[in-house]
Amino acid sequence: MEVSAIAESVFSLFIIILVGVYGSKKNIITPEINKGLTDILIKIALPFMIVSSFIFTYDDTIRTNVLKTFYLSLTAYALMAVFSWLALFPVKNDKKIILHFANVFVNTGYIGFPVLYSIYGSEGVIYGSIFNMFFVVFLWTYGLLLFKGSLNKNEIKKEMLSVILNPSILAVFIGIFIMVSGVRLPAPIFSSIKSIGNITGPLSMFIIGNILSNVKIKNHFRDWTIYYGITLKLVAIPLTIYLFSLLLNDYSKAVNSVIVMTAMPASAMTSILAESFDKEKEFAAIIVSATTLLSLITVPALIQFTTYFAP
């Protein structure tokens, strides 16, 4: 897919975000409705999109890339965590927790999947869903540990159970079963699964528009940690992952999909957990909103950069 087409796809998502902002400002999308939309996205639309992405004709390259994406995603998360922790040495207290969480846990669901689909189609969503598996696993273990400070044995068991029963994780298992077994679903069932999955993109952008409309960014213009954190999240970390990928000498869609995912803005869970644990709530909302808005520029720029230097 050409860079111009990628830019058009991302710009299209931005227009839908503006519609979400309008809906929020006009009180059409109320907080209650937004919560309902989020539940529909996470528990219904996204899992259906993941399942539908596995339903197409495979070749040996895609099967190999699925396996490759497992260790690529794990490596990417390790690199993001280590790099972030070292780079955030100048930042202190709860702001460091917020920025570190934001750096490691990217917005896979609301933005990552729609962007990957617009670039690589269903194949990109498959690789993204593998990356998202690690997101879910690490979110409810390492991510929770960052905010709580410690987890007892009972809490670990409870969170691991929630990971296993997560709709997106179950969707990946179903998708892998379909891929391995070669089972063919009846046309009406496949059409229904795909139609439900297709609402993921617009629904995600409405939710992001609602988040952006409720944050007063101008009140934080003088906080240097915001600029520093945004630069780390959207520029330094994706470029570090990209430079590491050059060592692999692999320019497949699987590798590029992982790079694109690491370039996504901070997960909305950054703001949600900050609210839950009362740690720099407004600061977290600013980071989520600002990285989301600026990613509409940085993600196409990163893709253009990597495409230009690809052999």
**Least confident piece of the model among 1-10, 36-45, 116-125, 262-271:** 1-10
Ranges of beta strands (E only) in the chain are none
Sequence-ordered list of residues with C-beta below 8 angstroms from that of 163, at least 6 positions apart, any chain: 136, 137, 140, 141, 169
Contact between 115 and 9 (Cβ < 8 Å): yes
Q: What average pLDDT does the structure give for the chain?
A: 82
Six-digit token pair at 275? Answer: 């609210």
> How much is the pLDDT for 78?
95
> How much is the pLDDT for 103?
95
Q: Which residues of 212-246 are buried (b: 16+ CB within 10 A; e: fewer)?
A: bbebeeeebeeeebbebbbebbbeebbbbbbeebe
Contact between 256 and 306 (Cβ < 8 Å): yes
Categorize the per-residue pLDDT at 2 as very low, low, confident or very high, splitting at 50, 70 and 90.
very low
What residue type is assigned to position 125 of the chain?
A: V
What residue type is assigned to position 277 of the chain?
A: F
> How much is the pLDDT for 229?
93
State how far the alpha carbon of 258 is from the alpha carbons of 41, 71, 210, in Å: 22, 11, 27
pLDDT surpassing 50 at residue 36: yes
High-pLDDT (> 70) share of the chain, %: 90
